[in-house]
Amino acid sequence: MVQLVKGSRKSGATRRIYLSLRDQITSGVYDAGERLPSSRALAGELGVSRTTVTAAYDQLISEGYITVRQGAKPTVTSEGRHPYTRPASQAQEPTPQVSAYASRAMALPKNISAEQAALQYDFRYGDIASSDFPKLAWRRALNAAVLAYRERLGYEHPAGNLALRRALQGYLWRARGIECDITQIIVVSGSQQALDLCARVFVDPGGQVVLEEPCYPMARNVMLATGAMPVAIPCDKDGMDTSRLPVPKDVALAFVTPSHQFPLGGVLPSGRRKALIEWAISGNTYIIEDDYDGEYRYDVRPIPPLWMIGQGRVIYVGTVSKTLSPTLRLGYMVLPGTLAEPFVRCKQITDRHSSSFEQEALASMIETGAYESHVRKMRRLNAERRT
Ligand SMILES: Cc1ncc(COP(=O)(O)O)c(C=O)c1O
């Protein structure tokens, strides 16, 4: 007798019959060589159509649990007897042998907030109020991207959608004074991927990476997971104390937040900026400039990025996480020209490219001026909220 938990939804009947029979076969209720009821008999017994049972039997046949010969009842195969065993609990599974990278990642503090019910007062850092997201403008831009005529849907260039890179080229010039070629721009899945790509391109296990102290934890985590040796440089109210930098030639990479030190908030003064660049030049090393909220300055004019005096030693990283939303996972890098090739190769291996529709939507928001008008609105709103 086939045991079946009866459900009311007809569409799930085939799946329930399939699962029920599969469990009974693998757990030994049906032994190899035993016969199952004919599809007609089982359909009658369960009060379902014969097609429903036949579809479940077909699935069991294709997975090798049963065979059916013309006119005969389905027979349980010997191979089908134990192909699928579900451990009773995770505790019974052997400890996975993960890579050195994964082991280092697992040893880091877990920075994943549990799914939780809405808090009455939410002081978590980094999120954007849902009411601040420009829903209509984004929907319009995304609709246009999805509906735009294109011959085929295929992979894009790993560096990113051409329209977005063109739009970013103009935006970066207008908003941050950065003048670059579109071949120097790579669209990434948020700053986090930019940091990960920097680690892939420059850092081998044991390589020294200069970090601010205190430091943005997600930047430190990328470097620690890669196996880097962090060199922590203390920060004061003006950001990183560049007089404490180590001998540059031994350093693979440095990470700074010069426009708004995270988390202390200082702005790196020009003397320290020059010292940092000279240090990088003398050691032929590179500096990551994380300009995560460069659009937002309230008491002073926007701070020019380090990139502008960088003499080819600065990798500029920007994001829409603070202007639109971190949920979009969109960011961009501006690279010294000679670095474009290794970064494009690593980006392609990592995820081929960032999501095309979202890239196009952002491109059209920038091109129509909707992005910058939203940033201006956010700047105004944030300034009001500060007072
Ligand atoms: C210092 C710093 N950099 C970058 C980001 C943004 O990261 P992402 O673009 O990966 O969302 C944040 C977000 O809170 C940040 O605090």
Summarised one tens digit per residue, pLDDT across range 205-241 is 999 999 999 999 999 999 999 999 999 999 999 999 9
Dist. CA 317 → ligand 1 center (Å): 10
Handedness of CA 7, 12, 17, 20 (dihedral sign): negative
Handedness of CA 62, 64, 68, 74 (dihedral sign): negative
Q: Sorting pLDDT into bands at 50, 70 and 90, what band is 9?
A: very low
pLDDT value, residue 2? 57
Query: Could you tell me if residue 147 is inside a domain?
Result: no
Give the residue numbers spanning the domain of 22: 10-81
pLDDT value, residue 7? 46
Dist. CA 192 → ligand 1 center (Å): 7
Same domain flag for 238 and 334: yes
Query: Could you tell me if residue 93 is inside a domain?
Result: no
Domain boundary among 81, 97, 123: 81
Residue nearest to atom 12 of ligand 1 (CA): 292
Which numbered atom of ligand 1 lies nearest the CA of 126? 14
pLDDT value, residue 8? 40
Residue ranges around ligand 1 (CB below 6 Å):
126, 190-192, 216, 257, 262, 290, 292, 319, 321, 326, 331
Q: Sorting pLDDT into bands at 50, 70 and 90, what band is 385?
A: confident
pLDDT value, residue 42? 95
Same domain flag for 346 and 218: yes
pLDDT value, residue 1? 54
Strands 314-319 and 286-290 turn out to be parallel
Domain boundary among 32, 56, 81: 81
Mean pLDDT for 71-99 is 76
Domain boundary among 35, 58, 81: 81
Residue nearest to atom 15 of ligand 1 (CA): 292
Whether 84 has a pLDDT exceeding 90, the answer reads no
Least confident range from 63-77, 165-179, 294-308, 370-384: namely 294-308
Dist. CA 168 → ligand 1 center (Å): 18
Alpha helices by DSSP H, listed for the chain, are 13-26, 39-46, 50-62, 100-107, 135-147, 162-176, 190-202, 217-226, 270-283, 340-351, 356-368, 370-386
Same domain flag for 50 and 170: no
